Structure 1
Amino acid sequence: MSQTSFGFVDMHNLRTKEEDEMIERIKATIKEQDIRLIRVAWADQHGISRAKSMTVPAFLGALENGLEFNTGPLFFDTGSAIVFNPFIEGGGFDSEEMTGCPNYRLIPDPSTFKVLPWAPHTGWILTDAYLKDGRPLPFDSRGILRQALNEFKNAGYEYVAGIEVEWHLMKIEDNKLRPEYMGGPGVSAEAPTVLSSARGYQYHLESHLDEADSILQEIYNALSLLGLPLNTIEDEWGPSQKEFTFAPLNGLDAADTMLLFRNTVKQICKRHGYIGSFMCRPAFSSFVSSGWHLHQSINSIATGENLLKDKRQLEPLSQTGKHFIGGILKHARASTVFTTPTINGFKRLNPNSLAPDRAGWGDDNRGAMLRVIGAPGEKNIRFENRVGEPAANPYLYLASQIIAGLHGIQEKIDPGLSSREAYNEERELLPISLREAVEALKKDTLYRNKMGDVFVDYIVKMKESEISRYEAFVEENNIENHERVVTNWEQREYFDLF
């Protein structure tokens, strides 16, 4: 008597009927568009896309059985320093499943399949990570966001996010590809030398947009073909600085969009002799910091209405909205590990700088951490968190907001009065360094309860490795005022990677 053989996906019931229908459409697209390779991608702990290119037959097999993927990338910090020893019991994670640097399974999410406009005959798809027994990998940041969204949904809420992100567009002068520039594990390669793509300090100057039109058109065309809802392209204040904004999206779609947007910019720029860098503040004296302002609103699942809107039309924000931002403010210090996860990002958070230095909120106040946007009674009331940096892991950035915001609603947390003088009020100060942020996260019980001790301890250890390498560089080179000066260590560590 024959036995039915099931693939990994069927064995663990990891796909819906709707997703099965999506897969049939993917197969048709592969055939119609002569797709020959598919990049099967996974968002790592840093929010960076790792991937393998698979042939079509291998990819079709992965749709049923998943892709066996080395746990190796989980062991590395941003400079590829090995943080955990995989060959001790528990692999350094205190988790039996991680002993010996084993494989785990990546399961393609059919809703994310795209055809890459700039790479001939190439498809792209995001995955979710699972242990061999079918349980979600506890270190998968996309899984962390999915879990937070499910809890939010179960409470009756839908989370909506809009992306507004700044980045730097520069022309490559020397890619520094000679072997002597390569560095090694824990010592990042030399950053490319670059030229500015435009002069700065002329906010929204049209001629700067025109100077960069050819490469911006390439990026726009790709984003359009990918179906990403780009709204605006702007020339920002600093040299070579651009800002892109996107239409609002539901939580997971917004995070996926940010990941694919950064991929699109970086890959198209490199193909045309440019670098698109999402490093917050490059090590050029005349350059200014870039931010990632995350616009947020919440809808009722039952009615679809925007729950941030004050029904009385007396003020912009409802009580539910105030409680939501109250939770975010209460956990603001700990959440900076997720919103501002690099050494470099904290050099942006200064008084009177259009970036926040304390946990406050205000009515259309760009000095406040949370800026409420919209007039009383307006339909599309939202707020933006102005603390984030462009290099943030989008899944952890969004998850940190949802977790803290739901806590605020459930506990009816009061955010206090709206800020008038955002940089002079008695509010809790934000961390001034990544080390201070990590210490705050260690003490925050909410993120431990919701993300899990295993995950929080993992992120803490990962960031402590990054911090220790930076501090060793600062001490060895006797760098004064390093809290505000952008060092060569940061340029090597972040400029090309992000």
Structure 2
Amino acid sequence: MNQLNTIPIDMGFIRKHGLWTEQQISEAEAVLALVEEKKLRTIRVATADPQGKLRGKTLMPKTFRSAMKNGLDFTTAQYNFDSAEGIAYNPFTTDGGLGFTEMAGFPDVVLVPDPNTFKILPWCDRTGWILGDMYFHDGRPMPFDARHKLKAVEADMRREGYHVVAGLEIEFYVTRLLDQHLGAVHMGGLGIPPTPPKVEALWRGYAYQAEEHHDQIATLLDTLADHCTALGLPLRTMEDEMGPGQLEFTFDVQSGLEAADTMTLFRSMVKQVCTRMGYHATFMTLPGLPNFVASGWHLHQSLADDTGINIFAACEESGELLTEVARHYVGGLLQHAVEASVFTTPTVNGYKRRKPNSLAPDRSTWGYDNRAAMIRVQGGPGDPATHVENRVGEPTANPYLYIASQIASGLDGIRNRIDPGPLEASPYEATHRPLLPTNLPDAVEILAGSTFFKDTFGEEFIAWLIGIKKSEIARFTAAHPDWAATPEVVTEWEHREYFTRY
């Protein structure tokens, strides 16, 4: 008998604690059969860390089969680190600095693969990939795992009779790699990111949606498109954005969890493939390079009923842009936008976007097909594709927290029938609308006082996340104590902190 078939997956940690649905159990059998059929050499088992970046282990097929039964021992260290592996919480205390005795001493927890996320990586020879969720050894969900938070709020929305529909619109930069700076002097350390690579722009100047720019990197774009197709990521469009080497990719609609998983894998794939091809890709909002402009992550949203009908689409006879449910959903997005800033814009650098006349919102507004508004309504009476686009996010955001914050806010709007008020014709002039935070320290303080998000995600989760962000902020302010005098300047600290990691 083939050694892959010697360990039945219907017994063990995962089944004991009921961590998979019957559908996942069936899918797991299909995954294991595919590993054998394709003669995969290795399988990467990954999880999204607090920043939404992938961390993982590479397993041999026999070990992978065991992980599909019992999960995989995986360190908790990521929950003690900030965005540059700085120690935000001392793990060598009785509660690991996090309020749990199970977290003392950088212990292992259990990473449970999700069979629904399995892929074969097209850029790696005979290599599988799967995403998972973190659990304590007694089967409790790890309270700081953001994927659990998204699944919970999406389930809340389903209990109201609605299904989340999300579409991704992602901007990022690709530059030509000149020097990776791999010498000892460039290595950095815990809390000290490595020296960013030396790069150059892919083309000169600004030419929005210029076809010739696409042609200059056609081989790269074709490769990325082929990989998206092979991975089952529903790529729709690719375009040249405003800055030199700034690209925008859009994806067809998925569920909230599927969209978050797509964003997680897409960012990782782009960075890995670009490096292999002699480029450097970054999802940092505004790199510290001359003449670059800010990138955003716009999240398209609507709700469907059990039959797949768009709940946001008003009938043509009504003459309304949105249904009543959709208006209340928008009301929730607007009401909670200020306190959601740490989820939508989690880095020091991301706040460089938030200024008037910048194609990014500076306040909590909505408008019809208006790119100055935070919430842009697209569609209209009788249009089955009617939806709203939130333009507030930055491309480094943890996708599970960004999307979860939107679902939770919209659901609160529906439950409490929150009125969004009138559409704004001139969003940047809407002085009666709440201003969004213009820096991360302010956003963190606002989140610290948010009863709504403490109730949604749990007080311990919000306190932990605030501690992670305060560690990042403390390193920034130590390097640039006078940062508030020139908030529009991208500092050397920001470029070093985010350009490589994100």
How would you bin the TM-score normalised by the shorter chain?
Answer: over 0.9
Q: How does 1:52-451 map to 2 (within 5 A)?
A: 52-301=57-306, 303-311=307-315, 312-425=317-430, 426-451=432-457
- Partner in structure 2 of residue 489 of structure 1: 493
Q: CA deviation at 1:479?
A: 5.5
- Return the alpha-carbon distance in structure 1 between the equivalents of residues 414 and 205 of structure 2: 43
Q: Secondary structure at the match of 1:459?
A: helix
Distance 1:373 1:471, change over 3 A: same
Distance 1:479 1:250, change over 3 A: closer
Kindly indicate whether the alpha-carbon contact (under 8 Å) linking 2:238 and 2:250 is maintained by their aligned counterparts in 1: yes
Note the alpha carbon deviations across 1:8-53, whole angstroms, 9 max, x for none: 1121011222222212211221122220110000011110000100
Q: Secondary structure at the match of 2:497?
A: helix
- Return the alpha-carbon distance in structure 2 between the equivalents of residues 429 and 233 of structure 1: 32
- Partner in structure 1 of residue 5 of structure 2: none
Kindly indicate whether the alpha-carbon contact (under 8 Å) linking 2:313 and 2:380 is maintained by their aligned counterparts in 1: no
Note the alpha carbon deviations across 1:126-164, whole angstroms, 9 max, x for none: 001111110110000111100111111111110010000
Q: CA deviation at 1:119?
A: 0.7
Q: CA deviation at 1:184?
A: 1.0
Q: Secondary structure at the match of 1:322?
A: helix
Q: Which moved more, 1:179-188 or 1:5-14?
A: 5-14
- Return the alpha-carbon distance in structure 1 between the equivalents of residues 177 and 398 of structure 2: 26
What is the identity, as a one-letter code, of the residue corresponding to 1:87?
F
Distance 1:249 1:200, change over 3 A: farther
Aligned length: 491
Q: TM-score, normalization: structure 2?
A: 0.96
- Return the alpha-carbon distance in structure 2 between the equivalents of residues 383 and 16 of structure 1: 32
What is the identity, as a one-letter code, of the residue corresponding to 1:344?
N
- Partner in structure 2 of residue 40 of structure 1: 45
Kindly indicate whether the alpha-carbon contact (under 8 Å) linking 1:474 and 1:482 is maintained by their aligned counterparts in 2: no
Q: Secondary structure at the match of 2:221?
A: helix
Note the alpha carbon deviations across 1:220-272, whole angstroms, 9 max, x for none: 11111111110001011111100000001111111000001101100000001
What is the identity, as a one-letter code, of the residue corresponding to 1:252?
L
Structure 2 unaligned spans of 5+: 1-9
Q: CA deviation at 1:337?
A: 0.3
Q: CA deviation at 1:98?
A: 1.3
Distance 1:479 1:427, change over 3 A: closer
- Return the alpha-carbon distance in structure 2 between the equivalents of residues 200 and 221 of structure 1: 28
Q: Secondary structure at the match of 1:60?
A: helix
Q: Which moved more, 1:390-399 or 1:479-488?
A: 479-488
Q: CA deviation at 1:481?
A: 3.7
What is the identity, as a one-letter code, of the residue corresponding to 2:41?
R
- Return the alpha-carbon distance in structure 2 between the equivalents of residues 258 and 285 of structure 1: 28
What is the identity, as a one-letter code, of the residue corresponding to 2:36?
K
Q: CA deviation at 1:482?
A: 3.6
Q: CA deviation at 1:78?
A: 0.5
- Return the alpha-carbon distance in structure 2 between the equivalents of residues 200 and 296 of structure 1: 33
Q: TM-score, normalization: structure 1?
A: 0.97
Q: Secondary structure at the match of 2:52?
A: coil
Q: Secondary structure at the match of 1:127?
A: strand
Q: CA deviation at 1:489?
A: 0.5
- Return the alpha-carbon distance in structure 1 between the equivalents of residues 98 and 484 of structure 2: 36
Q: CA deviation at 1:89?
A: 2.1
What is the identity, as a one-letter code, of the residue corresponding to 2:289?
F
Q: Secondary structure at the match of 1:465?
A: helix
- Return the alpha-carbon distance in structure 2 between the equivalents of residues 23 and 99 of structure 1: 33
What is the identity, as a one-letter code, of the residue corresponding to 2:433?
R
Note the alpha carbon deviations across 1:356-384, whole angstroms, 9 max, x for none: 00001001110000000012221110011
Q: How does 1:3-22 map to 2 (within 5 A)?
A: 6-22=11-27
Kindly indicate whether the alpha-carbon contact (under 8 Å) linking 1:331 and 1:444 is maintained by their aligned counterparts in 2: no
- Return the alpha-carbon distance in structure 1 between the equivalents of residues 34 and 11 of structure 2: 25
Q: CA deviation at 1:319?
A: 1.4
Q: Secondary structure at the match of 1:334?
A: coil
Q: Secondary structure at the match of 1:249?
A: coil
Runs of 4+ in 1 over 6 A off after TM superposition: none
- Return the alpha-carbon distance in structure 2 between the equivalents of residues 29 and 17 of structure 1: 19
Kindly indicate whether the alpha-carbon contact (under 8 Å) linking 1:325 and 1:405 is maintained by their aligned counterparts in 2: yes
Kindly indicate whether the alpha-carbon contact (under 8 Å) linking 1:316 and 1:378 is maintained by their aligned counterparts in 2: no
Q: Secondary structure at the match of 2:318?
A: coil
Q: 1:452 aligns with which of 434, 452, 458?
A: 458
Q: What's the C-alpha RMSD, in Å, of the aligned pairs?
A: 1.2
Q: Which moved more, 1:134-143 or 1:193-202?
A: 193-202
- Return the alpha-carbon distance in structure 2 between the equivalents of residues 197 and 60 of structure 1: 44
What is the identity, as a one-letter code, of the residue corresponding to 2:286?
R
- Return the alpha-carbon distance in structure 2 between the equivalents of residues 214 and 421 of structure 1: 41
Structure 1 unaligned spans of 5+: none
